[in-house]
């Protein structure tokens, strides 16, 4: 019985302490037990490293939480804030589309549990042209509960098309108002700042459409910001300094600035010396420069893409830039303000405040045309017929008295409310029939 008890104890000890040992012989030698102490010391070091990395990751998550919650406390004070300011709207869409995804599916969490010896599980290199989202095999969860909650809201989050459309809207505003990218990034728009700098959007929008005029400007600012931060990367970012240098070098190459493309590629190799593709690009740029001397700065200056309707575009942008500003009134004394009735008896007791902004083309601004109460009523629908709400019918009648036009369908479109998106969404176009054969023109035939 005594021998049997000893055997049971030995197997019990084996079950508790020796499962990780492949040969199962640790219990046979005190030297092996001493080695086990050394193994546990290594495990303690690994655990300490893991805790340090996890602490850093959680600090990043806390910083992101503080940033986003601060916006909802300070910036989003009213429901119309994001709609009224295109910069605020863009950053909201970008954050909901990609930044939250990058935080919830954190690469850092995966890397903290991977083998750091540089084997098959080595962290993904971001030196290549990165895809829109991290590769799926690298996605790791901050925690299952957060992922589950995130997925419940995922259907209502902006899609890639929304992010691309918002970025195009910013580029359209940049062109129309001749804005500097550096000012946009700092949150400056029309001499007003929200005090919140915006993040650089992914270069894919302009870059993938081969719009190098815009991609160069935005990527230049992106590289400048990354350099200023010492190349520091934060989890919600979709790109890195290497990404920006890579895209910017190729964009400059496509615009003919080969010497600068070479300089940027050489800088990229400093960060990623084993990138074979960039090495090939450097050799290609050097051969091109050897065959022909580099162009002067003025020769390869960025040129805005032309338009099929340059005259119309220039007129439209001039109006947007001046906004019929008061300085134009000093240049043209025929511009004026008055109380206007259009000779209609219905407006005699309540004339409309009219401001003539331009004579050619003729542009008029009517002030306080809609009351705040009427505006709130109209916001309940986007395409509003006069049967949708009594306020809409009254507004149609007021427009007819003021202009002499029949605005009822099919002679006029239904009223549209908040329907033009960030930066206007649509390119310059006519809101009237331009040909008798057009669908609108046919509707107006007697």
Where are the domain boundaries for CATH 1.25.40.10 in the chain? 75-116+123-291
Rounded to whole angstroms, the Cα distance separating 433 from 443 reads 10
Question: The domain 75-116+123-291: what is its CATH number?
Answer: 1.25.40.10
pLDDT band at residue 239 using 50, 70 and 90 as cut-offs: confident
Q: Could you give the percent of the chain with pLDDT greater than 90?
A: 18
Residue 203 has pLDDT above 80, yes or no: no
Q: Tell me the H-state helices in 113-237.
A: 144-153, 160-176, 181-185, 204-208, 212-228
What is the pLDDT at residue 126?
Answer: 33
What is the pLDDT at residue 124?
Answer: 33
Q: What is the pLDDT of residues 39-60, one digit of tens each?
A: 889 999 999 988 998 888 888 8
pLDDT band at residue 194 using 50, 70 and 90 as cut-offs: very low
- Nearest residue to 247 (alpha-carbon basis) of 274, 273, 291, 281: 281
Dihedral angle, C-alpha 299, 304, 309, 310, nearest 10 °: -60
CB 142 within 8 A of CB 104: yes
Rounded to whole angstroms, the Cα distance separating 181 from 427 reads 20
Residue in this structure with the two tokens 């992106």, named with its chain if needed: 222
- Answer with the residue of higher pLDDT: 28 or 341: 341
- Answer with the residue of higher pLDDT: 313 or 218: 218
User: DSSP secondary-structure letter at 80?
Assistant: T
Rounded to whole angstroms, the Cα distance separating 348 from 346 reads 6
pLDDT band at residue 262 using 50, 70 and 90 as cut-offs: very high
pLDDT band at residue 209 using 50, 70 and 90 as cut-offs: confident
3-state helix vs strand vs coil in the chain, percent to 5: 55, 5, 40
Q: What is the pLDDT of residues 344-386, one digit of tens each?
A: 999 999 999 999 888 887 889 999 998 888 887 777 765 555 5
CB 33 within 8 A of CB 26: yes
CB 289 within 8 A of CB 265: no
Q: What is the pLDDT of residues 100-154, one digit of tens each?
A: 988 888 766 556 555 544 443 333 333 333 333 333 333 344 467 788 888 899 8
pLDDT band at residue 411 using 50, 70 and 90 as cut-offs: confident
CB 189 within 8 A of CB 87: yes
What is the pLDDT at residue 419?
Answer: 59
Q: Give the burial class of 276: count Cβ atoms within 10 A of its Cβ; 0-12 exposed, 13-18 middle, 19 or more buried.
A: exposed
Cis peptide before 361 (omega within 30 of 0): yes
CB 109 within 8 A of CB 140: yes
């Amino acid at each position: 019985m005594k021998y049997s008890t000893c055997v049971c104890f030995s197997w019990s000890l084996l079950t508790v302490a020796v499962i990780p040992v492949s040969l199962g012989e640790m219990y046979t030698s005190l030297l092996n037990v001493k080695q086990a102490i050394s193994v546990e010391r290594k495990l303690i070091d690994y655990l300490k490293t893991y805790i340090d990395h996890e602490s850093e990751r959680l600090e990043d998550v806390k910083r992101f939480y503080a940033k986003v919650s601060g916006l909802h406390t300070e910036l989003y004070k009213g429901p119309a804030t994001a709609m009224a300011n295109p910069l605020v709207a863009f950053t909201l869409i970008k954050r909901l589309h990609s930044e939250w995804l990058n935080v919830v599916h954190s690469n850092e969490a995966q890397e903290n549990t991977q083998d750091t010896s540089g084997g098959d599980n080595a962290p993904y290199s971001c030196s290549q042209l990165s895809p829109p989202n991290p590769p799926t095999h690298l996605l790791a969860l901050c925690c299952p509960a957060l992922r589950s909650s995130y997925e419940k809201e995922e259907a209502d989050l902006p899609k890639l098309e929304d992010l691309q459309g918002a970025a195009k809207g910013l580029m359209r505003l940049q062109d129309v108002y001749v804005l500097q990218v550096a000012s946009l990034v700092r949150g400056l728009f029309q001499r007003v700042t929200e005090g919140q700098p915006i993040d650089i959007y992914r270069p894919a929008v302009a870059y993938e459409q081969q719009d190098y005029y815009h991609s160069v400007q935005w990527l230049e600012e992106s590289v400048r910001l990354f350099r200023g931060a010492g190349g520091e990367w934060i989890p919600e970012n979709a790109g890195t300094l290497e990404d920006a240098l890579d895209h910017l070098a190729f964009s400059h190459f496509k615009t003919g600035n080969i010497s600068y493309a070479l300089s940027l590629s050489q800088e990229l190799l400093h960060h990623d010396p084993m990138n074979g593709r960039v090495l090939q690009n450097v050799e290609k740029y050097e051969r091109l420069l050897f065959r022909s001397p580099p162009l002067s700065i003025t020769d390869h200056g960025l040129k805005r893409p032309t338009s099929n309707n340059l005259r119309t575009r220039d007129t439209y942008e001039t109006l947007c830039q001046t906004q019929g500003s008061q300085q134009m009134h000093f240049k043209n004394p025929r511009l004026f303000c008055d109380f206007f009735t259009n000779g209609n008896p219905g407006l005699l007791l309540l004339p409309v405040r009219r401001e003539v902004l331009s004579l050619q083309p003729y542009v008029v601004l009517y002030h306080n045309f809609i009351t705040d109460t009427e505006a709130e009523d109209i916001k309940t629908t986007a395409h509003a017929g006069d049967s949708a709400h009594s306020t809409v019918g009254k507004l149609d009648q007021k427009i007819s008295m003021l202009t002499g036009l029949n605005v009822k369908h099919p002679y006029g479109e239904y009223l549209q409310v908040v329907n033009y998106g960030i930066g206007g969404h649509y390119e310059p176009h006519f809101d009237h029939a331009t040909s008798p054969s057009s669908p609108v023109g046919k509707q107006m035939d007697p």
